[in-house]
Structure formats: C-alpha cells, structure tokens
Amino acid sequence: MTQTAEKTAALIVAAGRGTRAGAGLPKQWRALAGKRVADWTLSRFRNHPGIDHVALVVHPDDAAHYDTLDVDVVFGGDTRDASVRNGLEALVGKGFDNVLIHDVARATVPDHCITDVINALKTSTGAAPALPVTDALWRGQDGHVTGTQSREQLYRAQTPQGFKFTAILDAHRAQTTPAADDVEVARAAGLKVAIVPGSEDNLKITTPEDFARAEKILRGHMDIRLGNGFDVHAFEDGDHVVLCGVSVPHDKALKGHSDADVGMHAVTDAIYGALAEGDIGRHFPPSEMEWKNADSAIFLKHAVDLATSKGYAISNIDCTLICERPKIGPHAEAMMTRMAEIMGLRMDQVSVKATTSERLGFTGREEGIASIATATLVKP
C-alpha cells in the first residue's frame, strides 16, 4: 500500500508591534532589500516544496499592509501564545498533519532549516532548529559580572518550530501560563522536541541594526541577473510613432513588423537576455503573420511572465531612446507610467530617458530611432 504524503502548513506569526526595532511601522512591514520583511518571509515558505499552505497571523490594525498579500490571514491575540493559538484554530479541519510555526522577523531563514524540521517530523512529535552556545556566559547585575554559567547543553533557539498538528493544538489549548516559544508549550504538554541544525543566517530582526545585517544576508543569497537590449527602427511615412507604449505625434512613423515600438522592444530583449532566453524574434518570429502590427505590450508581458515563472522579480528597468526628434521629455512620464503598468512595477522602478547622437550617424540624420535598455532581475 502506498503511504499518503503528509500535508504541512506554515503559520507565520506577524501580529507583534516590534517596539525594539525603533519608532515607525511594525518591523514586519518595513522595507528590507527592496521588499518588506513579511514579503521575504512569506516567499521563503511559499517557494519551499515541503510546504502545502501558508497562513499569516496579523494585527487587526495592519489591514493597509496585509491587504496587499495573497495569503490566508488570521487575527492575532494579546500575546504571542494567543496569536499562535488563533492561527492553529484557523487550520482545524483542513487536513494538515504537521505545522511549522515561524516568526515573521526571521526573513532570512535558509531552506535547509525548513527542510530539516519537516524531515524530523517523520519520526518526532516536534522539531526545531537551534545553535549550540559557543560564547562564555556570565551572570551580571548593575553592570558588573557576578558569576559565570556553563554553556554545556545550551542552545540558541530559532524558528520554524514544527509539530504534529493535533499535538501542538492540544498543547496550546491546555497552556495557561505565558511561554517563551512553542517548544516551551510543547514540553509543558509532555511532547518531545528534536533539535535540528540552525543557521547563523537565520537572523531574527529585533533592533534597528539587524535590518542592515539581514539585508547583507539577503543580498548575498540572491540570484541577481542583468540583461541588456538594443533595437533600431527606421522611419517611414506616417503621422506618429509609438514609444514605450505611448503614441507620440510626429511627421514620420517607425517601420516594423509589429508596432515598431523601439523602446519596448529593447526593454523586452533586456528581460529575455537576463533570463538567457534569446530575444523577441525567438518567441515571436517576424515570419509569422500573427504578429503583424501587434501591440508590443504583448511581447513585454510575455517576458515579464516568463521571468515570474522562473522565480525572478524585476527590480528595475532603465531605457534610453536615441533620436533627434520627436522630443521625448514631454512624454517620458506617460511612458514610464505605461511601462510600469504593463510590468506590474512601481513608477520608481522604471526609467525612460532620451539622448541624441549629436547629429552623427543614422539617428543624427533622423533616419530612425534606436534604444538601449537594461533590466535587473532578482531571485531570493
């Protein structure tokens, strides 16, 4: 008989206020390496093959932040214990065998920590990552050392802390006193918890200084791709040109198989280049009449969707149009708005600018328009 694979949920606890991280937004909603702390944490679990479902425990006051997330949301309680219990209760009846409970502030948790906890639950009721204490330990009072403490058999606890779902639910329901973490709740209920290797990279963001440390970790682990694109289209008779998705009045038109949007073509090729996926011609051959006079937004959207399917996010786009005329400045903002709309980016992630070739070459002779573009893609 084939054994049915166990289903595992991840419960991300994000209802705290994070006051030690300094004034301002709760730390889970603050910017970190181009995204928010919560975005990084959620992506770690969503992209892990061993996780079947992700739920986020939030504070009701944070609706403006969590409403932008495509994730199941549960309201937390007055304490961390209460928040976790609310999250567990929301998972009842959904068929989960295991649950991993994780602090949202640990946005840099490595995949192996998640994997090791899941694997340990095949033979243990509970499992959690931890690091052995290696520093000397002191006891102190009033700023002075009053004694020492043996570091033997001492560990620094981390999350995710994983458990058999029913066992940890019953343990939380029975808990009547505050607990430091879910391992303490489990042990109070008599559950055994296995220790799996933690990681120094599994940093819990607590103080303002921790943001810089977390960003350094994320930057070091990210797969960053750069691509460039170059395109040229000659002028022909007409009364407007299409540049970066915007129709610009002119005494000529651009000649091409599609709408000849030289700027959008360069950006599209830059994205394909970063993915090592060739150019527009590979995906939309000009020999196919289907693409005759096609809106170049089709090509750009395909490149963006391809990047997303491979796990990449577009960090920024920089496009330069090279021509004597028409003047690009009056239309640049509209171009950036349209490009950002197509790619699902913020305006500050898209740059469209122009330069001339000082009357040199074919652009200087106003025989056509050229464009160069750079795309930065990031995979966490």
- How high is the pLDDT of residue 1? 42
The residue out of 159, 191, 221 marking a domain boundary is 221
Domain-located, residue 132: yes
> Do residues 279 and 190 share a domain?
no
Phi, psi of 98 (to 5 degrees): -130, 155
CATH of the domain at 263: 3.30.1330.50
> Do residues 73 and 211 share a domain?
yes
Whether the predicted pLDDT of 2 surpasses 50:
no
The Cα–Cα gap between 155 and 161 comes to: 14
What are the tens digits of pLDDT across the range 56-101? 999 999 998 988 888 999 999 999 999 999 999 999 999 999 999 9
> Do residues 39 and 158 share a domain?
yes
Domain-located, residue 76: yes
The residue out of 221, 241, 262 marking a domain boundary is 221
- How high is the pLDDT of residue 19? 62
> Do residues 238 and 215 share a domain?
no
Domain-located, residue 158: yes
What are the tens digits of pLDDT across the range 185-225? 999 999 999 999 999 999 999 999 999 999 999 888 778 89
The Cα–Cα gap between 276 and 280 comes to: 12
Instruction: Please check whether residue 53 is in contact with residue 60, taking contact to mean a CB–CB distance below 8 angstroms.
Output: no
Domain-located, residue 2: no
> Do residues 128 and 16 share a domain?
yes
Domain extent, residue 297, equals 223-379
- How high is the pLDDT of residue 107? 97
Domain-located, residue 143: yes
Looking at the 3D structure of the chain, how many domains does it have?
Answer: 2
Instruction: Please check whether residue 275 is in contact with residue 307, taking contact to mean a CB–CB distance below 8 angstroms.
Output: yes
Domain-located, residue 86: yes
Domain-located, residue 283: yes
- How high is the pLDDT of residue 18? 65
> Do residues 247 and 373 share a domain?
yes
Phi, psi of 24 (to 5 degrees): 115, -155
What's the predicted TM-score (pTM) here? 0.66
Structure tokens that stand for 372 in this block = 């160069």
- How high is the pLDDT of residue 121? 98
CATH of the domain at 161: 3.90.550.10
The Cα–Cα gap between 333 and 351 comes to: 9
Structure tokens that stand for 117 in this block = 């906890």
Whether the predicted pLDDT of 373 surpasses 50:
yes
The Cα–Cα gap between 69 and 39 comes to: 8
> Do residues 192 and 305 share a domain?
no
> Do residues 29 and 135 share a domain?
yes
Instruction: Please check whether residue 373 is in contact with residue 320, taking contact to mean a CB–CB distance below 8 angstroms.
Output: yes
> Do residues 147 and 248 share a domain?
no
Residue type, 255: K
What are the tens digits of pLDDT across the range 216-271? 998 887 788 999 999 999 999 999 999 999 999 999 999 998 899 999 999 999 99
Structure tokens that stand for 211 in this block = 């943001």
> Do residues 145 and 293 share a domain?
no
Domain-located, residue 371: yes
The residue out of 221, 256, 273 marking a domain boundary is 221
> Do residues 234 and 181 share a domain?
no
For residue 144, give Cα distances in angstroms to 66, 147, 148, 149, 256. Answer: 44, 9, 12, 15, 78
DSSP H or E stretch at residue 80 = helix 80-91
What are the tens digits of pLDDT across the range 291-324? 888 999 999 999 999 999 998 999 999 999 999 9
Instruction: Please check whether residue 294 is in contact with residue 274, taking contact to mean a CB–CB distance below 8 angstroms.
Output: no
DSSP H or E stretch at residue 280 = helix 280-283
> Do residues 210 and 292 share a domain?
no
The Cα–Cα gap between 371 and 356 comes to: 11
What are the tens digits of pLDDT across the range 350-370? 999 999 999 999 999 999 999
